[in-house]
Amino acid sequence: MRNRRNLGSGDDSTDINISPLIDMVFILLIFFIVTTVFVDESGLAANTPEPSSNPPEDPDQERVSFLIRSTGQVMYQGNEIALAGIRGIVTPAMQQEQYPITVSIEPGVPMHRVVAVIDEAESGGAPQVTMKAVSE
């Protein structure tokens, strides 16, 4: 009879060769990197002017201008106005002549406030609304 070894004895140890496993993982990693399709997410398009240090060529072109303060106040010619009052200012001005409306924005203004002001100006008949960043 043969001598049977005890499977639980500690002298014989079997090593698992993991180098083929590492090779396989590396090949899978390369495969997934090569075949991955990166989706280009589209965001909200903003028509912003190029920054320039030159003043506007025609000062009469910018007749209606609103300022949104960092506190959320909307100002027109130095006076605070309500959000609903923007349409009442823009509509009569657009009946005389079509020209762009400028919205000046101080740093820290919530974007929903900017969008609400622009929406009210467009509802009043503004053909184009231009945003401009200003310092406090």
Q: What is the pLDDT of residue 110?
A: 85
| Average confidence (pLDDT) over 91-111 | 81
Q: What is the pLDDT of residue 23?
A: 92
Flag whether 93 is in a domain.
Answer: yes
Flag whether 25 is in a domain.
Answer: no
The tokens of 132 are what?
Answer: 């401009």
The CATH number that applies at residue 96 is 3.30.420
Asked if pLDDT for residue 55 goes beyond 70, the answer is: no
pLDDT band at 9 (very low <50, low <70, confident <90, very high): low
Asked if pLDDT for residue 1 goes beyond 80, the answer is: no
| Average confidence (pLDDT) over 69-89 | 85
Flag whether 33 is in a domain.
Answer: no
Query: The domain containing residue 76 runs over which residues?
Result: 62-133
Report the mean per-residue pLDDT for the chain. Answer: 78
3-state class of 47 per DSSP?
Answer: coil
| Average confidence (pLDDT) over 52-61 | 52
Flag whether 66 is in a domain.
Answer: yes
Domains of the chain: total: 1
Flag whether 24 is in a domain.
Answer: no
Q: Which helix (H) or strand (E) covers residue 74, if one does?
A: strand 74-76
More reliable by pLDDT, 102 or 63: 102
Alpha helices by DSSP H, listed for the chain, are 19-35, 85-96, 111-123
Asked if pLDDT for residue 59 goes beyond 70, the answer is: no
| Average confidence (pLDDT) over 23-28 | 94
Q: What is the pLDDT of residue 53?
A: 55
